[in-house]
Amino acid sequence: MPSPYQEWLEEAELGLLALDDCRIECDNMTWVISYLFNRIKLPHKCMSGHLMLSNRKKYVTPHYWIQLPAGYVVDLRLRMWFGDDEAIPHGIFQPGMHPRFIYSGKEVEPYKLTASLASILTDGLISNVKLPSKQNRPLCK
């Protein structure tokens, strides 16, 4: 049975999937998601580094993603680089559940977006994102 935090994350992931059709790469997607998380005061870190398949046959560098408490990652751009396949992690997930994909990076200062720039970057799709309210967000566990 999922914890209240996991349930909140699942609902948040559904909201973020409204950004799937944005024509932006991982850096701008990270800034947009960070902007949304800042609006609801969700603790997170913007990360920059690389992602490598465990067999070392393919890697993406630079790569940007969001790190959440309890080890969760938010990444909506892996499939851009590794193919649109269900086996490729997408959305909000724990990297340990996908050991073939190895994240390595450091925290970076996010680019501070305005509402209008976030809308331009997402072709207005950001208006379709519905994140669960912070009042309903349990503490991570």
Q: What is the pLDDT of residue 58?
A: 87
pTM for this structure?
0.92
- The per-residue pLDDT for 141 is 45
Calpha distance 37→137 (Å, rounded): 12
pLDDT along the chain (141 residues), means of 10: 89 98 97 96 96 87 96 96 91 96 96 96 98 67 45
Which among 46, 55, 17, 34 has a CA at the least distance from the CA of 117? 34
Sign of CA dihedral 65, 66, 72, 74: negative
With CA atoms as reference, report the closest residue to 80 among 98, 63, 97, 55. 63
Identify the pLDDT of residue 19.
Answer: 98
